[in-house]
Amino acid sequence: MKKDLILCGVGGQGILSIATVIGEAATAAGLCLKQAEVHGMSQRGGDVQSNLRLSTEPIWSDLIRKGGADLVISMEPMESLRYLPYLSADGVIVTGSTPLVNIPDYPAEEDLRAELESLPHVIVRDIDAIAREAGNPRGANMALLGMAAQAIGIVSAEQLRTAIATVFGRKGQAVVDANIKAFDCGLEAAKR
């Protein structure tokens, strides 16, 4: 079994933390993993993505082929559309709904929403609102991870919770609990 994921957003939105948690869960589960990250100049408010490949078999390429991704997990709606050519015909998009507008030619919000809704498998939720309701306004990325948990599949929600505890453990139990709460609220929101 294999799962190819593209994590994306805008530099500074915390996609690398999502990748770290999934990576930790996959490693603990004994899966093979390759994770290509973006460091450097693009991190300054530009578009960023990470190719995350998980498999029960050895993986060759660090990069995902066009048409090969099973899942796009995006912090931001326009960024979720950037990787459509990489998404397989039955691939899934899980994205936050709040636009981050830091460019002059950002598309109209209703056009974005319409294009997202026209795609076959899409889960769009307000991850900032979910994180606030969870009492963890800075936990939007963990809310998004919760929303994507079902689609990730190759590691379970419980394995992801354990990974959150490992990754954030050194920041104390309060941070771990807040992030798991945001994750669980995301998980529930995706079902609604």
Partner 1 sequence: MEKRLLLGDEAVALGAIHAGLSGVYAYPGTPSTEITEFIQANAKHIRSRWCTNEKTAMEAALGMSYAGKRALVCMKHVGMNVCADAFVNSAITGVKGGLVVLAADDPSMHSSQNEQDSRFYAKFAMIPVFEPGNQQEAYDMMADAFALSESLKVPVMLRIVTRLAHSRAAVTVGDGRAQNALSPAQESWVLLPGIARRKYLELICKQPAMQQASEESAYNKCVSLAGRPLDVTAPESTLGIVACGIGYNYVREVLDGEAEILKVSQYPLPEQKLLALARKCGSILVVEDGQPVVEEGVRRIIGDIAPVRGKLTGDLPRTGELDPDNVGKALGARQTPGLSPARNLSARPPQLCSGCGHRDVYAALNKVAEEYPDHRIFGDIGCYTLGALPPFKALSSCVDMGASITMAKGAADAGLFPAIAVIGDSTFTHSGMTGLLDAVNDKSNITVVISDNLTTAMTGGQDSAGTSKYEAICIGLGVEPEHVRVVVPLPKNMDEITRIIKEEIEYKGVSVIIPRRECIQVAARHARERKLQEEKK
Specify whether the CB–CB gap between 160 and 21 falls below 8 A. Answer: yes
What single letter denotes the amino acid at residue 11?
G
Tokens of 162: 């354990």
- Select the residue interacting with partner 1 from 119, 129, 157, 165 (CB under 8 A): 119
The bridge status of strand 47-55 relative to strand 32-36 is antiparallel
Nearer to partner 1, 173 or 188 (CB): 173
Give the x/- contact pattern for partner 1 in 74-113, rule: CB under 8 A. Answer: ----xx-xx-xxxxxx-x----------xxxxxxx--xx-
Q: Which helix (H) or strand (E) holds 4?
A: strand 2-10
Does 23 participate in binding partner 1 (rule CB under 8 A)?
yes
User: For the chain, how long is the longest CA-to-CA vector?
Assistant: 45
Nearest distance in Å: CB 115, partner 1: 5
Give the x/- contact pattern for partner 1 in 58-77, rule: CB under 8 A. Answer: -xxxxxxxxxxx--------
In 3D space, the residue among 102, 60, 65, 110 whose CA is nearest the CA of residue 85 turns out to be: 65
Does 140 participate in binding partner 1 (rule CB under 8 A)?
no
The residue ranges that bind partner 1 (CB under 8 A) are: 10-11, 23-24, 27, 32-47, 59-69, 78-79, 81-82, 84-89, 91, 102-108, 111-112, 115, 119
